[in-house]
């Protein structure tokens, strides 16, 4: 029977009804979801793209405005210092008394300012700020000073202070005189921008600022699972509030490569590999014109799809009560229809398992099921009678078979008056040993039959040899040893007795390989033969023979124990000793005297 047919046979009628009702209510939900979810996903993707575009542009403008404002303030500071009356030597002017107050007012009026240097071209001048600057701040301020002095243009450098910390910005603006104002620019600003227009820079204003725009960005976007990155012109990340995996994936994306080639607004979708698995990410980059930097805003698409998941969940929750009600109706209907069939099926299984005579209860049955149950009960009654007759006949055959075996064994034992009853006793002892070896009931029975027939081959041995009271000659001994082979050949044609042949042929084999007829050793000897060998020896020691007097139980135990490892299997001997300790084995005709062990071994062939 195939696996599919087995599965179909295990499905019950009530299960089919229940599945049909559930499908009738669940299919509309699945169809609506299949139609609506892709459309909703498309709409949300477009909305997400629009949001990222607007957000990236807004952030770039906010940062651009902030940088321009700070640059203009420093330019005005430098212009004011240059245009004020005083010494023509810039170094001397920066140390005039009024400059300290002027700078102090500037520092107090700027909330983001952490340190301020106003330096001449040799790097000398007043410095305002805390005694201890953040790590790397001094180096960054010196670097932007050198860059502004060399390029005669504003210089910017971001100082990343680590996760969850507001970054600092080092900004240097050169100031010059002699340049005309640009269109619409005030005089002070024009003086400060003169270096860029061809004027000679005379001083540089350097400021260390708390870069507050990035702090507000980080706090605002974290709630939306949005990652923000600040890139320099070469595509390197200056600052981010995202995981290192997100930053690494962004660095290798096409978005950054395109931005490096041409700083402009771009939006791209790429795949991110992280310890949490692979996920699709949507990213937008927007250029900051003040510094040629770029702002990247990105968000996993899974966050956008959370709305779809919520919609599906709400739809399912709204449908569940209806499905539960349908399931209840289906269960009641299946129970009403399926219970009689279930009773009939259960009774059929009992009969198939061997419990004949089962009856289907007629109570509650109607329609054709009542007629079916009545016919089934009548059939079950007839079947029970037939089976009982077969059982009685089988038991009679079994008793006849066992009785025939016993009669056959008794006939063999009768050839030698000194071994009368030997086969029955060996069979009984063998069954006890097999039970203590924890063999199954069926194997114990097989051991019993094998032991009962173990000497069947003696039917081919001359009576004069069997009844001889003196020691056998070598030729007579060889003929006696053939009884194991003859017995096996007698049982070979009988199909029902083939499993007992090992006990008949090899019960005189020895554990050390010195037995007969085949010289088997150790585990080569079948278990049944090893059991019968111990039982046969036990009976031979504890019964009277022409060549020995029956010994007591203690001597039999000592003798068999002494022969363990040479003639007998230690495992079988251990089971034998357990049976003796349990009081289940006793000599059939115990004597006070002790037999002679050499005589027992010398006459072993007679058993």
| Res 183: pLDDT | 36
Give the number of other CB atoms < 10 A from CB of residue 365. 18
More confident residue, 597 or 13: 13
* pLDDT of the residue at 132: 77
Contacts of 342 (CB under 8 A, 6+ apart): 12
Rounded CA-CA distance 11/13 in Å is 7
Q: What is the 3-state secondary structure (H, E, C) of 398-460?
A: HHHHHHHHHHHHHHHHHCCHHHCCHHHHHHHHHHHHHHHCCCCHHHHHHHHHHHHCCCHHHHH
Other beta carbons within 10 Å of 569: 20
The pLDDT score that the predictor gives to residue 25 is 59
Burial label, 128 (beta-carbon count in 10 A; 0-12, 13-18, 19+): middle
Nearest of 462, 491, 467 to residue 479 by alpha carbon: 462
Q: How confident is the model at residue 597 (pLDDT cuts 50, 70, 90)?
A: very low
What lies within 8 Å, CB to CB, of 53 at 6+ separation is 265, 267, 284
At 53, the pLDDT band (50, 70, 90 cuts) reads: confident
Residue that wins the pLDDT comparison between 384 and 557: 557
Q: What is the pLDDT of residues 281-325, one digit of tens each?
A: 888 888 898 988 998 888 877 776 666 667 667 766 766 776 677
- For 532-580, what is each residue's pLDDT tens digit? 999 999 998 988 766 667 788 999 999 999 999 999 999 999 999 999 9
Residue range 79-94: average pLDDT?
87
Q: Would you place residue 385 in the very low, low, confident or very high pLDDT band (cuts 50, 70, 90)?
A: low
Looking at the predicted structure, is the pLDDT value of residue 520 above 80? yes
Is the CB of residue 566 less than 8 Å from the CB of residue 510? yes
> 176-212, pLDDT tens digit by residue?
875 433 333 443 343 444 444 446 788 999 999 988 8
Q: What is the pLDDT of residue 50?
A: 82
Q: What is the pTM of this model?
A: 0.48
pLDDT digits (tens, 9 = 90+) for 399-434: 656 766 766 666 666 666 556 688 889 999 999 999
State pLDDT tens for residues 237-283.
Answer: 888 877 777 777 788 788 888 888 888 787 877 777 665 677 788 88
Question: What's the rounded mean pLDDT across residues 496-521?
Answer: 92
Nearest-angstrom CA–CA distance, 607 and 547? 12
119-164 tens-digit pLDDT? 999 989 998 877 678 888 889 999 999 999 999 999 999 988 876 7
What pLDDT is stored for residue 574 in this prediction? 95
57 pLDDT tier (thresholds 50, 70, 90): confident
- pLDDT for res 438: 94
Per-residue confidence (pLDDT) for residue 591, from 0 to 100: 42
The pLDDT value recorded for residue 547 is 61
């Amino acid at each position: 029977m195939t696996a599919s047919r087995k599965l179909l046979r295990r499905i019950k009628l009530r299960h089919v009804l229940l599945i049909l009702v559930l499908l009738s209510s669940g299919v509309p939900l699945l169809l609506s979801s299949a139609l609506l979810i892709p459309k909703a996903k498309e709409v949300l993707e477009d909305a997400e793209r629009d949001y990222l575009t607007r957000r990236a542009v807004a952030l770039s403008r906010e940062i651009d405005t902030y940088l321009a404002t700070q640059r203009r303030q420093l330019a005005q500071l430098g212009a004011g210092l240059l245009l004020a009356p005083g010494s023509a030597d810039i170094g001397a002017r920066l140390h005039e008394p009024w400059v300290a107050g002027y700078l102090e007012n500037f520092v107090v009026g700027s909330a983001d300012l952490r340190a301020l240097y106003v330096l001449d071209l040799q790097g000398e001048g007043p410095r305002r700020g805390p005694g201890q600057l953040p790590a790397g701040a001094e180096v960054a301020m010196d670097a932007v000073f050198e860059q502004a002095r060399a390029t005669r243009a504003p210089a910017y450098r971001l100082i990343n202070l680590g996760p969850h910390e507001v970054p600092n910005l080092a900004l240097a603006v050169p100031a010059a005189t002699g340049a005309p104002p640009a269109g619409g620019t005030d005089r002070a600003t024009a003086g400060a921008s003169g270096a860029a227009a061809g004027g000679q820079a005379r001083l540089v204003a350097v400021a260390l600022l708390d870069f507050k725009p990035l702090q507000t960005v980080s706090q605002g976007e974290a709630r939306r699972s949005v990652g923000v990155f600040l890139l320099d012109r070469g595509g390197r990340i200056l600052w981010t509030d995202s995981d290192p995996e997100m930053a690494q994936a962004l660095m290798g994306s096409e978005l950054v490569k395109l931005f490096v080639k041409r700083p402009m607004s771009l939006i791209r979708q790429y795949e991110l590999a992280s310890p949490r698995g692979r996920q699709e990410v949507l990213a937008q980059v927007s250029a900051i014109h003040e510094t040629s930097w770029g702002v990247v805003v990105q968000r996993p698409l899974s966050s956008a799809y959370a709305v779809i998941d919520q919609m599906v969940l709400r739809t399912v929750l709204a449908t569940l009560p209806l499905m539960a009600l349908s399931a209840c109706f289906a269960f009641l209907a299946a129970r009403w229809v399926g219970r009689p069939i279930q009773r009939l099926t259960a009774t059929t299984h009992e009969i198939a398992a061997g419990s004949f005579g089962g009856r289907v209860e007629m109570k509650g049955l109607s329609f054709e099921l009542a007629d079916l149950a009545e016919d089934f009960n009548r059939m079950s009654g007839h079947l029970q009678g037939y089976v009982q007759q077969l059982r009685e006949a089988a038991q009679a055959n079994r008793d006849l078979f066992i009785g025939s075996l016993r009669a056959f064994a008794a006939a063999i034992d009768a050839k030698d008056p000194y071994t009368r009853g030997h086969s029955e006793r060996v069979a009984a002892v063998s069954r006890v040993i097999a039970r203590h070896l924890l063999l199954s009931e069926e194997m114990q029975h097989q051991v019993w039959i094998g032991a009962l027939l173990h000497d069947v081959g003696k039917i081919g041995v001359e009576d004069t040899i069997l009844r001889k009271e003196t020691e056998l000659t070598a030729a007579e001994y060889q003929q006696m040893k053939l009884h194991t082979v003859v017995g096996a050949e007698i049982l070979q044609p009988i199909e029902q007795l083939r499993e007992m042949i090992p006990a008949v042929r090899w019960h005189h084999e020895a554990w050390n390989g010195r037995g007969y007829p085949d010289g088997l050793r150790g585990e080569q000897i079948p278990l049944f033969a090893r059991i019968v060998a111990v039982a046969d020896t036990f009976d031979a020691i504890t019964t009277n023979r022409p060549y020995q007097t029956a010994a007591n139980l203690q001597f039999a135990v000592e003798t068999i124990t002494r022969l363990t490892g040479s003639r007998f299997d230690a495992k079988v001997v251990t089971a034998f000793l357990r049976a003796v300790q349990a009081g289940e084995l006793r000599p059939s005709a115990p004597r006070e005297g002790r037999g002679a062990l050499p005589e027992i071994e010398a006459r072993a062939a007679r058993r």
